[in-house]
Chain A
C-alpha cells in the first residue's frame, strides 16, 4: 500500500475520509476509505485515479449488487485493521492448516448462509482474500459428504446431465474410501 496517496494526503488521514461507491443497482454507499481499501480492487482504483479521484462522485462497481455489497462492507468494517491472511502449511506434514475463524466470523457466516455463493463471487471480484478464502472453506464444509442430489438442492443447481452421462460417471467413479 502506498504511503503517499491520492490528493497528496498521507495515508492515515485519507483513510478517515469518505468515498462514495455505487453498486450495479445504482445504490450509493458512503464508506470510509480505510474500510473500502480492504478490497484490493477498490484500493487499486483509488490509487490509479490518484489526483483525479473525486470522492463525492463515487467509484462504480458494475459486478456487485447492493444487498451483497452491504454484507461485504460488514466484513470490511470488521477486518479493516486485520493483517493479511496467509495460507499456512504445517512445516512437518506439509498439510495446509485450515483457517480458524473467530466467533464474529462464525456468526457472520451463520447469518448469511444462504448467500455464500454470492459472497464468494463478490469477494473474488473485489479481491478480499480473507472473505474469499473463508467463504470457500465454508462452502466446502457444506458440500462435504453430501450426495449430488443434496448438493443440487442446497445450492439450487439445475440438473443438466442426461441419464447416459450419469451412467458413465457412475461407471468411472466406482471408488470408495477405505
Chain B
C-alpha cells in the first residue's frame, strides 16, 4: 500500500461519499492520513437537535433509580456538498462525542467556501476551529438571533465568524416570528461586532436585527467600496435618526441592490418619496430595490412617475391581507374619486379627525413635492444626469399625451420586474404566479427559506393583531393586518383597501 501515489488514492476518494471515506480511514495509517482532509468539500450546513427528557425531569418530582444526565442531549446534523454538487447528510450518533466529531469534521474541510449555521447551534468552543476556515466566502446564519442578543454566551464564536477574512457574502437570515415581532426583538448588530468585519463583503443581509446608527456608520465606512447589496430586514429603528441613516447608506457608492426597512422608506399616503430618499435612489448605481408595501394606489403612481428608470427590479414585501393588485398598474383612477370613496367609508365620528389629518397630509405633500422637485434639479449636476432627464421626459410625456396609452408604453419601456413577496402564512402552500401587466413582469411569490437569500425579508413592524391603547380606557382598538407604522386610530377608517372581514376573535 505504501507505494501507492497520493493522487491515485485521492482520485478514488473523490468517488466515495463521507461515510465510505471515514471507513477507509479506519483501515490503515496511510489511509487515515490520506482521507483526513476532504479538499473537495465546498459547503457545509450545520444544525443541532436536542432531544431527551431533561426538560421534563427538571420540573418533575419523581426520582429515578438510575442516573440521568441533566444536560440536554444534542446531536449535530451536517449537510456537506462537494465541488461536483453531490450532497451528503450526516448526523452524530453519540451524544458524548458529538461536539468532538463536529470539530473533527470542520477541521477536515480546509477548502470550504460556504458555511451555513442554523439556530445558533454552535457555541464558543468551536471558535478556534472556525477561525481556521479562512476560505469561507459565504456565511449564512439562519435564525441565529441568539448570537446577537446582549447576554450572549457565544460572543467569542460570533466575533470569530464576523472576522473571517475572505467573506464576500454575510447573510443573516431569519424565518422566525420573533424577528418579525419588531419591538420585542432583542437581537441587534452591535458596534463592536461591526468593527470585527475585515473581509471585503459584497453582499450583506441583516434580517431581523436592530441596527443602531453607530453600527450603520461603521459599516458605511468599512464596506463602502465593496458592498453591492445591502438588505436591512429590520423594520424598527429610530425614525428620528432617519436622515443620518440615509446619509450613511449614501456612502455605499457601488450599491446595486438595496432593501430598506419601513422606518427609512415607505410610501404612506403620498406617491412621492421625500427628497433625501429620492436623491439616494437616483445617485446610487441601483438596479434593484425592495421595501414594505403599504398602499396600492400610492405605490402604483410612485412606480409610474417617481421610480428612477435605472431600477429594473422591485421587491414589494406585503402582508397576506394586502396583496397589491398590479393589474391596476398604469390604469390609475383619478385622485378625486379616491378621496370621495374614502370619505364615504369613514364614519361620522371620525370625519372631523380625518379631515384635520388630510389637511396636514396635504401640507406634507406640498413640502415633499417641493423637496422632490428640488432634488430633481440638483441631480442634474450629478452623474446620473441622463437617467434623471429620461425620467423627467417620461413623466412629462405621460402627463401631456393621452393618458392610458402613454403610461402603458412608458411602463413597458422600463423593462421592469416586480416581485410581490407575501409574508409567510401557515395556510397557503408555496406557489409562484407570473403575470405581465402593462409591459411589467410581475411575479407573485411567498416568503420561503429558499427564496430569502435572493428576495430578502422585510418583516412587519409589529405583531398582528396589535392592541392599541389610548389615554381614555374605552379607546382600546385591535388592529389586524399589515401596517407599516403605528397610525392614529383616526386614519384607520380612511384606508380604503383595509379589509374588514378579518377574524377579530383571534
Cβ of A56 within 8 Å of any chain B Cβ, yes or no, is no
Q: How far is the CA of A15 from the CA of B28 in the complex (A)?
A: 45
Q: How far is the CA of A137 from the CA of B12 in the complex (A)?
A: 7
Q: How far is the CA of A174 from the CA of B76 in the complex (A)?
A: 10
- Contact of B84 with A161 in the complex, beta carbons under 8 Å: no
Known: A124-B7, A132-B11, A148-B24. Contact between A176 and B29, CB under 8 A?
no
- Contact of B28 with A177 in the complex, beta carbons under 8 Å: no
* Chain A 102-147 interface residues, beta-carbon cutoff 8 Å to B: 117, 120-121, 124, 132-133, 136-137, 139-141, 143-147
Chain B residues whose C-beta falls within 8 Å of the C-beta of A159 in the assembled complex: 27-28
Chain A residues whose C-beta falls within 8 Å of the C-beta of B11 in the assembled complex: 132-133, 136
Count contacts on A: residues with CB < 8 A to the other chain.
43
Give the A-B contact count at a CB cut-off of 8 A: 125
* Chain B 1-32 interface residues, beta-carbon cutoff 8 Å to A: 1, 3-5, 7-8, 11-20, 22-29, 31-32
The 18 sampled A-B contact pairs (Cβ below 8 Å) are A93-B85, A136-B12, A136-B14, A140-B20, A144-B20, A148-B26, A157-B28, A157-B31, A158-B28, A161-B26, A172-B100, A174-B92, A175-B19, A175-B90, A175-B92, A177-B88, A177-B90, A178-B90
- Contact of A161 with B32 in the complex, beta carbons under 8 Å: yes
Contact among B22, B84, B91 with A89 in the assembled complex (CB-CB below 8 Å)? B84
* Chain A 5-45 interface residues, beta-carbon cutoff 8 Å to B: none
Cβ of A81 within 8 Å of any chain B Cβ, yes or no, is no
Cβ of A95 within 8 Å of any chain B Cβ, yes or no, is yes
The residues of B with any CB-CB pair to A shorter than 8 Å are 1, 3-5, 7-8, 11-20, 22-29, 31-32, 77-78, 84-86, 88-94, 97-98, 100-101, 104-105
* Chain A 44-83 interface residues, beta-carbon cutoff 8 Å to B: none
The residues of A with any CB-CB pair to B shorter than 8 Å are 89-90, 93-96, 117, 120-121, 124, 132-133, 136-137, 139-141, 143-148, 151-152, 155, 157-161, 165-166, 169-178
Contact among A94, A124, A158 with B1 in the assembled complex (CB-CB below 8 Å)? A158
Contact among A95, A145, A151 with B27 in the assembled complex (CB-CB below 8 Å)? A151
- Taking the closest CB of chain A, its distance from the CB of B63, in whole angstroms, is 31
Chain B residues whose C-beta falls within 8 Å of the C-beta of A124 in the assembled complex: 5, 7-8
- Taking the closest CB of chain B, its distance from the CB of A150, in whole angstroms, is 9
Known: A121-B4, A124-B5, A158-B1. Contact between A173 and B91, CB under 8 A?
no
- Taking the closest CB of chain B, its distance from the CB of A157, in whole angstroms, is 5
Q: How far is the CA of A136 from the CA of B6 in the complex (A)?
A: 13
Q: Which residue of B lies closest to A153 (CB)?
A: B27
Chain A residues whose C-beta falls within 8 Å of the C-beta of B77 in the assembled complex: 178
Q: How far is the CA of A151 from the CA of B27 in the complex (A)?
A: 7
Contact among B5, B15, B20, B27 with A121 in the assembled complex (CB-CB below 8 Å)? B5
Chain B residues whose C-beta falls within 8 Å of the C-beta of A175 in the assembled complex: 18-19, 22, 78, 90-93, 101, 105
Q: How far is the CA of A137 from the CA of B16 in the complex (A)?
A: 9
Chain A residues whose C-beta falls within 8 Å of the C-beta of B5 in the assembled complex: 121, 124
Chain A residues whose C-beta falls within 8 Å of the C-beta of B104 in the assembled complex: 172-173
The residue among A152, A155, A173 with the most chain B CB atoms within 10 A of its own CB is: A173
Q: How far is the CA of A51 from the CA of B239 in the complex (A)?
A: 84
Contact among A95, A140, A157, A169 with B12 in the assembled complex (CB-CB below 8 Å)? A140
- Contact of A94 with B85 in the complex, beta carbons under 8 Å: yes
- Contact of A171 with B100 in the complex, beta carbons under 8 Å: yes
Q: Which residue of B lies closest to A139 (CB)?
A: B12
- Taking the closest CB of chain B, its distance from the CB of A46, in whole angstroms, is 24
- Contact of A169 with B85 in the complex, beta carbons under 8 Å: no
- Contact of B4 with A177 in the complex, beta carbons under 8 Å: no
Q: Which residue of A lies closest to B104 (CB)?
A: A172
Chain B residues whose C-beta falls within 8 Å of the C-beta of A170 in the assembled complex: 26
- Contact of A171 with B84 in the complex, beta carbons under 8 Å: no
Q: Which residue of A lies closest to B97 (CB)?
A: A171
Chain A residues whose C-beta falls within 8 Å of the C-beta of B8 in the assembled complex: 120-121, 124, 132, 136
Chain B residues whose C-beta falls within 8 Å of the C-beta of A144 in the assembled complex: 16-17, 20
A145-B20, A146-B20 given; name 15 further pairs at CB < 8 Å.
Answer: A94-B84, A136-B8, A136-B12, A136-B15, A143-B12, A147-B23, A148-B24, A151-B23, A157-B1, A157-B28, A172-B97, A175-B19, A175-B22, A178-B90, A178-B91
Q: How far is the CA of A94 from the CA of B269 in the complex (A)?
A: 48
Q: Give the 3 A-B residue pairs with the shortest CB-CB distance, closest first.
A: A140-B15, A94-B85, A172-B104
- Contact of B19 with A176 in the complex, beta carbons under 8 Å: yes
Chain A residues whose C-beta falls within 8 Å of the C-beta of B24 in the assembled complex: 143, 148, 151
- Taking the closest CB of chain B, its distance from the CB of A142, in whole angstroms, is 10
Q: Which residue of B lies closest to A116 (CB)?
A: B12
- Contact of A174 with B16 in the complex, beta carbons under 8 Å: no
Chain A residues whose C-beta falls within 8 Å of the C-beta of B23 in the assembled complex: 146-148, 151
Contact among A95, A143, A155 with B85 in the assembled complex (CB-CB below 8 Å)? A95
Q: How far is the CA of A119 from the CA of B251 in the complex (A)?
A: 62
Contact among B15, B27, B90 with A176 in the assembled complex (CB-CB below 8 Å)? B90
